[in-house]
Chains A and B, each alone.
Chain A
Amino acid sequence: ETGVTQSPTHLIKTRGQQVTLRCSSQSGHNTVSWYQQALGQGPQFIFQYYREEENGRGNFPPRFSGLQFPNYSSELNVNALELDDSALYLCASSLDRSLSPYGYTFGSGTRLTVV
């Protein structure tokens, strides 16, 4: 059983550019949630995808968007990058939107630096 994998692990982008981050969910999971973790802070919920549809969104602007594919993997897209978007982006997969600790698994994240 594979865990949650995220790619790339590190990324440097220029302000104003666009970026796509990828997440492969754990086998058997149909829900993917994305979090942003700024340096020295706790993770903040961006949005959740369940069976290819957005299922809830945190306090993030529309330039943060996502997709979920039929195999339940997911992408996070950020347009018009700003310096404050520099952060660790974490993906978590689960079954049926559950927050149960027995099936909510985080990946190791993508470290995005915007210069």
Chain B
Amino acid sequence: GIQVEQSPPDLILQEGANSTLRCNFSDSVNNLQWFHQNPWGQLINLFYIPSGTKQNGRLSATTVATERYSLLYISSSQTTDSGVYFCAVGTGNQFYFGTGTSLTVIP
């Protein structure tokens, strides 16, 4: 299967700081998504981004498919941004997830 690696594994930020999360994947993809796992365990889709750049408020994402990586940017972080962020590659009938980045934003 496809290998998905995420870095850093853990991140602690002061409120208001910016951050960049990285996802490397082992094969060409046409379905890459970023998810946020909330404290109740539910995975919420943030971006569908197999290539290019998208922005949604304080979050943006970029995927360079030819170089097999994707970046998630969080600007002006808030305590509500805390949680685990996953990159997932969709192929066939399943998603392959990375091990996630655990983000803690402190006031």
- A positions within 8 Å CB-CB of B: 33, 35, 40-45, 48, 55-56, 58, 88, 90, 92, 97, 99-102, 104, 106-109, 111
- B positions within 8 Å CB-CB of A: 4, 31, 33, 40-45, 47-48, 86, 88, 90-100
Docked pose: A97 CA to B40 CA in angstroms: 25
Contacts of A56 in B (CB 8 A): 92-94
- Pairs across A and B, CB under 8 Å, 20 listed: A33-B94, A40-B99, A41-B100, A42-B4, A42-B86, A42-B98, A42-B99, A43-B86, A44-B97, A45-B94, A92-B43, A99-B90, A99-B94, A101-B33, A101-B47, A104-B45, A106-B44, A108-B41, A109-B41, A109-B42
Q: How far is the CB of A14 from chain B (nearest CB, A)?
A: 23
Q: Determine the residue in chain A with the shortest Cβ distance to B4.
A: A42
Out of A41, A58, A90, A99, name the residue touching B41 (CB < 8 Å). Answer: A90
Docked pose: A35 CA to B90 CA in angstroms: 13
